[in-house]
Amino acid sequence: MSDMFVLPMSSGEYVLQVQDEHRSVEHRVNLPSRMLDDLGVPPEQARQVIQRSVDVLVDRDAEDGLPSIIDLARYWDGDTDFRRQLAATFAGAPGS
């Protein structure tokens, strides 16, 4: 089992650390504010959006692994399945 840690860097940019018992891998994540707006999620929940987004991506593309730079805008704008899965995750959630 892996642990995920999301660390804010600057506006809309984060570092995602994925750690398991054998190694730690870092990814840079770009999270556009419009994605939070579309989801109806406050900026304070950006970490949860990133974690859920990564869960969706890993479930779909487990064999390929995660890229070193994860541009969530690319998935949000161009992948209707990703958008639908993520929106369903936050539908009716407290704070949304």
Average pLDDT over residues 82-93: 86
pLDDT top residue among 92 and 82 = 82
Rg (CA), the chain: 13
Name the pLDDT band for 93 (thresholds 50, 70, 90).
low
- What are the structure tokens assigned to 83, written together? 């958008």
Q: What b-and-e string marks burial along 28-51, b requiring 16 or more CB atoms within 10 Å of the CB?
A: ebbbeeebbeebebeeebbbebbe
- What are the structure tokens assigned to 93, written together? 């959630």
pTM above 0.75, yes or no: yes
- Residues 42, 83 contacting (CB under 8 angstroms): no
pLDDT by residue (tens digit) across 13-69? 999 998 888 888 999 999 999 999 999 999 999 999 999 999 999 888 765 778 999
